[in-house]
Amino acid sequence: MTQDFDTRVIAPGSTIGIMGNGQLGRMAAFCAAELGYKVHVFGPGADSPTEQVCAKATIADYTDLDALRAFAEDVDVVTFEFENVPHDSVKLLSELVPVRPGWKCLHLSQNRLREKTFCNEHGIRTAPFEAVRSLADLEAAVAKLGRPSVLKTTELGYDGKGQVKISADTDLAQAWDEMKGAEAILEGFISFEREISVIVARGVQGDTACFCPVENVHTNHILDVTVAPAEIADSLSKKAEDIAIKLVTAMEFVGLLAVEMFVTTDGDILVNEVAPRPHNSGHWTIDACITSQFEQFIRAVCGLPLGDPAHHSKARMKNLLGDDINDWQAILTEPNAKLHLYGKAEAKPGRKMGHVTWVLPK
C-alpha cells in the first residue's frame, strides 16, 4: 500500500483543515489552539460542536466540489474527525493540499471487507468473515460460518446501525432485505473475554507512539464505559500494542489510528475494526495522560515530534448519552470527576452529549 505524501512540517500559526464538525473535532481544535494553530472545519449543519470553538467554518455537503476547493485553498493540511467522506472528495483534496492520513488509508478504513482483508493479508487475525452481495451469498456464508453470526453493511454503519444478528431462527431473506441491497459482510461469532482498544499515533517520518490498551464496555452497541488501563496481562498489552503498530505501519498511516480488538477466552487477540481518527475510547487521555489523544493527533498531522502517551493516573470514562447530560451539576460536585460537554443544542436518546472521566490513583 504505497502512498504519495509530502513530509513537510506544518508550523504553528498555520491552519489545520478538519473534515467533520462533531465533538472529536471540537476537542482537537482546543489542542490545536494550545499549539498555536488555527482550525478551519468543514461539514454540514450550522452551530456544530467544532464550529463553536474554531477560527473558521465551511458549512457544506461533503460532495460540494466548489466548497472543497475553496476549503483546500484556505488550509495548510487536511485531516478528519469523521471518516465517511466520499472517496472522490478526499481524492480531490489530496490533489490540492497535504491530506493526513492519506486518502488510501481512509478508503481502506471506510469498508469493513477491505479493512479485514488487509489485516489478514498482513498476518493480523480477525474474526472469520465472508463477503455478502446477495441472498445466495448470505446463505452460503451462514452455511460456512454458522449461527450465531452477524451480518453488517460494509460501509457507514456505526453504534450498532446497519447490522443484524443471525440467530438460529433468523429468516435469511428478511435479514438480507434489511441491508437494502448494500454490500455486506458476515462475521462469525467468537468467544471473547473482553473488548479492548489501542490508539496509536504515527508521524510523517514513521515514528510511532501507543497509548496503553483500555477496556471498553458497550450498552446497546454504543460505548458506555472505558477503563484505563485494561486489566489484562502485560504480555497481552504488549501484543495488542504490537498489533496496532504493525497495522499503522503497514497502512503507511500519518495521524491517529484507533484499533478495536477482542481478547478471546483462549488468550488470543483479534482485531475488530479500526478508526482513522481520535476515538471515543481515548477521551480519558485528556485528563490522565501526559499527552492527550487530541494533542497527539495534532502533533502527528502537523509533522511535529510525537508526545509522551504515558498515563500519570488510572481513569474511568463514561459517555453521557441523551438526558444523562442533566446530571452535570451532580458530576461537578465529585472532586475526581472531569466533565466535558460538547455544546449540542438538543439531547436525543443515544446521542453523545458529553463524557465524564474519573481520574483515579495509579
Q: Please answer whether residues 48 and 21 qualify as being in contact, where contact means their C-beta atoms are separated by less than 8 angstroms.
A: yes
At residue 362, the pLDDT reads: 86
Residue 272 counted as an annotated binding residue: yes
Range of the domain at 270: 192-360
159 is in an annotated binding site: yes
Indicate whether 223 and 343 sit together in one domain.
Answer: yes
User: From CA 212, how far away is CA 229, in angstroms rounded?
Assistant: 6
161 marked as binding residue = yes
Say if residue 30 carries a ligand binding annotation.
Answer: no
Q: What pLDDT is attached to residue 160?
A: 57
Please indicate, yes or no, if residue 8 is contained in any of the structural domains: no
Q: What is the pLDDT of residue 162?
A: 78
- The pLDDT, as a whole number, for residue 1 is 53
Last residue of a domain, one of 148, 165, 188: 188
Q: What is the pLDDT of residue 172?
A: 96
- How far apart are the C-alpha atoms of 330 and 328, rounded to whole Å? 6
* 303 in a structural domain: yes
- The reply to whether 202 sits in an annotated binding site is no
Residue 273 marked ligand-binding: yes
Please spell the DSSP secondary structure of 76-109, one letter per residue: SEEEES-----HHHHHHHHTTS-BSS-HHHHHHH
Residue 37 annotated as binding?
no
| 312 assigned ligand-binding residue | no
187 is in an annotated binding site: yes
Q: Strand ranges (DSSP E) for the chain?
A: 15-19, 38-43, 56-59, 77-80, 129-132, 149-153, 163-166, 184-188, 192-202, 208-210, 214-219, 222-228, 255-264, 269-275, 314-321, 337-341, 352-360
Known binding residue 323? Answer is no
The helix (H) or strand (E) run that includes residue 235 is helix 234-250
Annotated ligand binding at 342? The verdict is no
- The set of cell numbers assigned to 130 is 465472508
Per-position pLDDT tens, the chain of length 362: 555 557 899 999 999 999 999 999 999 999 999 999 999 999 999 999 999 999 999 999 999 999 999 999 999 999 999 988 988 899 999 999 999 998 899 999 999 999 999 999 999 999 999 999 999 999 999 999 999 999 999 987 665 567 899 999 999 999 999 999 899 999 999 999 999 999 999 999 999 999 999 999 999 889 999 999 999 999 999 999 999 999 999 999 999 999 999 999 999 999 999 999 999 999 999 999 999 999 999 999 999 999 999 999 999 999 999 999 999 999 999 999 999 999 999 999 999 999 999 999 98
Answer yes or no: do 174 and 215 share one domain.
no
Q: What is the CATH number of the domain that holds 161?
A: 3.30.1490.20
> Are residues 153 and 217 located together in one domain of the fold?
no
Dihedral angle of Cα 99, 38, 279, 96, to the nearest 10 degrees = -10
- Measure the CA angle with vertex 310, ends 33 and 207; round to 5°: 75
- To the nearest 10°, report the CA torsion of 318, 324, 326, 332: -10
Parallel/antiparallel/unpaired status of strands 222-228 and 255-264: unpaired
For residue 61, the domain's CATH number is 3.40.50.20
Choose one of 155, 188, 221: the last residue of a domain: 188
Burial of residue 313 (CB within 10 Å: 0-12, 13-18, 19+) is: middle
pLDDT of res. 221: 85
> Which of 82, 99, 116 delimits the end of a domain?
99
> Is 87 annotated to bind ligand?
no
218 is in an annotated binding site: yes
Q: Is 64 left (phi over 0), alpha (psi -120 to 50) or beta?
A: beta
51 located within any domain: yes
Q: What pLDDT is recorded for position 157?
A: 64
Residue 276 sits in the same domain as residue 355: yes
Long-range contacts of 293-296 (CB under 8 A, 24+ apart): 293/199, 293/211, 293/256, 294/27, 294/28, 294/30, 294/31, 295/31, 295/34, 295/35, 296/201, 296/209, 296/211, 296/256
Q: pLDDT value at position 220?
A: 87
Q: Is 188 annotated as a binding residue?
A: yes
> Any binding-site annotation on 260?
no
Nearest to 217 by CA among 191, 196, 201: 196
Does any domain span residue 217? yes
